[in-house]
Amino acid sequence: MTTDTDTETEKSIKKPKKTPKQKGLSIAKNLLIYGLVFAVIYTAINWWRQPIMPANPQLQLTDYQGQVVDLAALSNEQPTLVYFWGTWCPICSITSPTIDKLAAANDYPVVTIAIKSGTDQELHRYLNENSYRFTTINDQEGSIFADWQGQVTPSYVILKNGEMTQGLTGIQPLWSLKLRLWLSSVF
C-alpha cells in the first residue's frame, strides 16, 4: 500500500539530470577506459603472436627473381622491415599496398617474404597484377616463416644490425611502421 508521502519521497530522491558537460565527461571517461582495455588486450595478443627470431637465422636469402638479399647487411645500414605475407591472405591484400608505399618511399629497406604463395611465376604474376614493387622472397614451403615461429599473416619484423628489435602482427598503418622504423634507428 502506497501513500501520498511515499510517492513524494520517491520523487525527491530522483537523481538530478546531468548537465551537457557532465554527460561529455562521462562519455570521455568511458571511451578512455574502453580504449585502455583495448590497448592492453591488443598489445598482449600482438606480443603473443609476434614472430620470434631464430637462434641462428638465415639472413641471406634469394628473391623470387634470383637476386641475393642480405638482411644482415641491409639492417647494418639502417633498420629494415621484413614483411611476412601470402597471396592467399585476405588481410594481406589490405596491408600490402601500405608496404608497397613504404618500399617506394625508399626511406628504409623493405623485404617481403611471400609464404606458400605458389611458384615464382605465379608470384611474379600476382605482384604484377597488383603493381607491387617491393623485394620479395618466395617461401614456397613456409620454412622461413616456420623458422621465425610465425603464427599469423601478416607479420612484421624490424631488424637492426642483424637483430630483431620489434615484431608485429595484423593491420599496421603506414605512420605506425614509419614510427617504429624511426624509433629503431634512434634507439
Work out whether strand 60-62 and strand 155-160 pair parallel, antiparallel, or are unpaired: unpaired
State yes or no: pLDDT of 130 exceeds 70.
yes
Instruction: Express each pLDDT in 41-76 by its tens digit.
Output: 877 777 777 889 888 888 999 999 999 999 999 999
* Grid coordinates given for 112: 617481403
pLDDT digits (tens, 9 = 90+) for 10-43: 555 777 888 989 899 999 999 999 989 988 887 7
pTM confidence score: 0.79
Question: Can you tell me the distance from the alpha carbon of 113 to that of 155, in angstroms, rounded to the nearest whole number?
Answer: 10
Ranges of H-type helices in 78-119:
92-105
Find the CATH number of the domain harbouring 65.
Answer: 3.40.30.10
Structural domains in the chain (count): 1
* Residue 159 belongs to a domain: yes
Q: What local confidence, expressed as pLDDT, does residue 10 receive?
A: 59
What pLDDT does 54 receive?
87
The alpha-carbon radius of gyration of the chain (Å, integer) is 25
Sign of CA dihedral 69, 71, 76, 80: positive
Q: Which residue, chain included where needed, has cell 601470402?
A: 86
- Burial label for 156, CB within 10 Å (0-12, 13-18, 19+), is buried
| Domain limits for position 113 | 60-186
Does residue 108 sit within a domain?
Answer: yes
| Coil, strand or helix at 98 | helix
Is 11 a member of any domain?
A: no
The number of residues in the chain equals 187
Range in 25-29, 71-75, 89-93, 123-127 with the lowest mean pLDDT: 25-29
Which residues, other chains included, contact 18 with Cβ-Cβ below 8 Å and sequence gap of 6+? 26
pLDDT at 4 over 60: no
53 found inside a domain: no
Amino acid 8: pLDDT? 59
Beta strands 60-62 and 68-70 are: antiparallel
Residue 31 lies in a domain: no
- Write out the three cell numbers for 100: 608497397
